[in-house]
Structure 1
Amino acid sequence: MLDQGDTARFVRVALSRASTATEAVTEAVAQVDRRATCFVMAFVPDHLDREVLASELDRQMGGVPVFGCTTAGQITPEGYETGALMLIAFPRRYFRCASMFIDHLRDFPMQELSQKIDRIKTQFQRTAGWRRFGLVLCDGVSKAEDLLASTLQLCLGEIPIYGGSAGDGLQFQETSVLYGGQFHSGAALVLLVETALDFTGVGFDHFLPTETLMVVTSAIPEERVVLELNGAPAALEYSRKIGVAVDQLSPEVFAENPVLVRQNAKFHVRAIHSVEADHGLSFMGAIDDGLILTLGTGTEIINALDTGLDLRGPMGQRPDFILGFDCILRKLEFTQKGMLDDVSAMFRKHNVLGFNTYGEQHCGVHVNQTFVGIAFFEHTPEDLH
């Protein structure tokens, strides 16, 4: 196996492409120094038995906390993959964390969430000179990410939050987060992370708004289903606007013809998931009656990716690594355009590690078809800035 140790200096990346859960865990854990590790993030391919994998990780890591999720693909030191178990070990020397588990996400009282966050903030004592951020991993088909992201950011205040929604390949059926030695559906986990490293958040896509607008005139918000656009059946109106027959609509078509929602001065992608009965459209983010949707048009992908990932630290240094949450719809578009190798090369160039999501969380906003990440840099003392 290729030694991944030189990819990043401040975390350890462990990989296995074994076909069974037990073999994959054994091979990956052997690459982790458990004595030096504060916690591990596990990004799991959909072919491995979840119950066996969770049990083996819990047993073999010997008390080191493991957090993670099922994925729609992994971003390893080699770039895009679909069958790799990837563990990222965060060492005690540079990281500390506190965790919170949220079960029954759709019905979880937001007031109780606020109280739990307050307790964590009080109990998790600060380390002088270290900075904090929040990480959230949540069920990607829960339809609760929008409220979760906004509530978390409100409760954490100046502490920025980043994360991604779990996937399950391309099934869009059952996704799970890993917490406490078990996989949980309909749930979320939140990590409050403290680090000695410098870091900065990043979030970008490669779309610009056009002048083509559509208004949601009938919707079922709690299900994220739009029944009508501009007073017409939603799928028929969307098809007419993009010039594609309704029976040709697919995830690939949705990925290449996104709709955008304006929030303040910025546009975010509000991705379409599928065509529903009676020509409704199911979305991957919040929708409501009266929402104005703007058809987006793509820009040059590789340049946008290179520019978005070309980050610098306080002294102009390049990131040691970027923890990335990359929407599966982006990967579908890149696949359709024959660009997977080019994108993987760009991820290698910028030391991106992470997974393909069903949605991304960026500073209190749940977005789609977006790259969200955290770039980590070697810390520069204040007196050298």
Structure 2
Amino acid sequence: MTAVDDLDSKPPEAVRLAVSRADNAAVVVAELKGQLTAARPSFILLFVPHRLQLDDLAQAVRTGFPDTVVFGCTTAGQITPRGYEDDALLAIAFERRHFRVASTLFKPISPVSIAEVVSQTERLASQFRATPGRKRLALIFADGLSKQEDILMAALEAGLKDVPVFGGSAGDGLRFERTHVLRNGEFHSNAALLLLLETDLAFNGLGFDHFQPTETCMVVTSAVPEERLVLEINGSPAAEEYARLVKVPVAELSPTIFAENPVLVRNGNLYHVRAIQQNQGKHGLTFLSAIDDGLLLRLGRGKEIIRTLDSGLAVADKDGEAPDFILGFDCYLRKLEIKRKGLDAAASEQFRQRRVVGFNTYGEQHLGVHVNQTFVGVAFFRPKGSMPL
């Protein structure tokens, strides 16, 4: 079955999609090429399952797409035209008549040099000459184990000024061993990939979760901020206190428990999830976002996740028309919760209906803020009288 067979009767116009579920890198690229014969891409994005051998895939991409710019990252799952998948490689070919792209690689990003990120970003923006009548946005794909996305996003916001930034942290399934971004035919760890896009399409940014704060508060009383490691909460060992508050034994703490019992931080009038990644040592908890001594947290309570997904994806342009496609960055913890509740078929149907494609992340980037357990995306609307380049 090809990717086209998986789509509804009216596939996207501004991108072409291809999917391979093969195990061999050469076969994967051959299948992608076969499905993209009608594409005339400005660039291709690849969202890669953790099971593939990356050196082999990089070589196959260089050989199979010698004249095409290819970017991408490893993932904790994919959103294909079928919906949620775990082992598929998704390719999105952005049509050159609607998109232009410039890119830069930040490496290393642990630790982040704020001055270098700002300088490199400003240089990229100044060298990428604007086309009258077109709009700009940026996509960022960062090493999801770098623990640097919060600082990186602040630096990017300073460098890009009024250009909106969206993206996701690269994943590694549920192994949490090593994540990579792809640029110029090579996979890089301890790196972040910035894509500056120019398009003639109207677009809207999306960002939503399904949690509300409870009255249960906790204070971080001992932390190692550079490691996103919390040692104590409310003066007690962090894992023990968290387990007490969510009413489960410490031995039963797991990614699923963390997904369904997140902790929230307040930023102005909004609450953002500070997701727990895993137990660390005997008593510690590692987080997927910035953490520090004295930080006030609230335990979150989930709302109905499919209903919030439906309402969050229900966007339209000024003429009331649905998006041509939505590029989505969906936290792997959301997927874990959805699967545990047996709602993955319902979520996948929502994605199919709204033409959502993308990947499951270790963290999401939304308008200058690094967040967790959130769906972030960009809805691109159907072209109207566009001029080809």
Fold equivalence (TM over 0.5): yes
Q: In structure 2, what residue type is equivalent to 1:202?
A: L
SS at match of 2:14: coil
SS at match of 1:116: helix
Q: Which runs of 4+ in 1 moved over 6 A?
A: none
TM-score normalized by structure 2? 0.96
Decide whether the 8 Å contact of 1:138 with 1:188 is kept in 2: yes
Q: In structure 2, what residue type is equivalent to 1:240?
A: R
* 159-168 vs 111-120, greater mean Cα deviation: 111-120
Query: For this pair of structures, how many residues does the alignment match?
Result: 381
Deviation at 1:129, TM superposition (A): 0.8
TM alignment of 1:274-285, pairs within 5 A: 274-285=278-289
Over residues 66-124 of structure 1, what are the superposed CA-to-partner deviations in whole Å (9 max), with x where a residue is unaligned?
A: 10001111100110011111110011100001100011111342111111111111111
**Match of 1:369?**
373
2: CA distance between counterparts of 1:10 and 1:91? 6
**Match of 1:267?**
271
Residue 9 of structure 1 is aligned with which of 3, 6, 13? 13
TM-score normalized by structure 1? 0.97
SS at match of 2:110: helix
Decide whether the 8 Å contact of 1:315 with 1:380 is kept in 2: no
**Match of 1:304?**
308
Deviation at 1:30, TM superposition (A): 2.1
Residue 119 of structure 1 is aligned with which of 83, 106, 123? 123
2: CA distance between counterparts of 1:33 and 1:129? 29
2: CA distance between counterparts of 1:223 and 1:34? 46
Residue 222 of structure 1 is aligned with which of 226, 249, 254? 226
TM alignment of 1:99-178, pairs within 5 A: 99-178=103-182
Q: Extract unaligned runs of 5+ from structure 2.
A: none
SS at match of 2:350: helix
2: CA distance between counterparts of 1:205 and 1:7? 27
SS at match of 1:115: helix
2: CA distance between counterparts of 1:78 and 1:3? 8
2:192 matches 1:191: no
Deviation at 1:308, TM superposition (A): 0.1
SS at match of 2:292: coil
**Match of 2:245?**
241
2: CA distance between counterparts of 1:35 and 1:256? 41
Residue 317 of structure 2 is aligned with which of 310, 313, 319? 313
With over 3 angstroms needed to count, the CA separation of the structure-2 counterparts of 1:319 and 1:218, relative to structure 1, is: same
2: CA distance between counterparts of 1:91 and 1:365? 29
Q: Extract unaligned runs of 5+ from structure 1.
A: none
2: CA distance between counterparts of 1:222 and 1:334? 31
Residue 57 of structure 2 is aligned with which of 44, 53, 57? 53
Q: In structure 1, what residue type is equivalent to 2:107?
A: D
2: CA distance between counterparts of 1:275 and 1:85? 30
SS at match of 1:320: strand
**Match of 1:81?**
85
Q: In structure 1, what residue type is equivalent to 2:229?
A: V
TM alignment of 1:347-366, pairs within 5 A: 347-366=351-370
Deviation at 1:2, TM superposition (A): 3.4
Q: In structure 2, what residue type is equivalent to 1:60?
A: G
Over residues 293-350 of structure 1, what are the superposed CA-to-partner deviations in whole Å (9 max), with x where a residue is unaligned?
A: 1100000111100000000112111001000000000011111111111100111111
2: CA distance between counterparts of 1:181 and 1:24? 15
Q: In structure 2, what residue type is equivalent to 1:149?
A: M
Deviation at 1:7, TM superposition (A): 2.5
Decide whether the 8 Å contact of 1:71 with 1:355 is kept in 2: yes
**Match of 2:67?**
63
SS at match of 1:174: coil
Q: In structure 1, what residue type is equivalent to 2:137?
A: F
Decide whether the 8 Å contact of 2:239 with 2:285 is kept in 1: yes
2: CA distance between counterparts of 1:52 and 1:99? 23
Q: In structure 2, what residue type is equivalent to 1:204?
A: F
**Match of 1:231?**
235
Q: State the identity %.
A: 53
Deviation at 1:34, TM superposition (A): 7.9
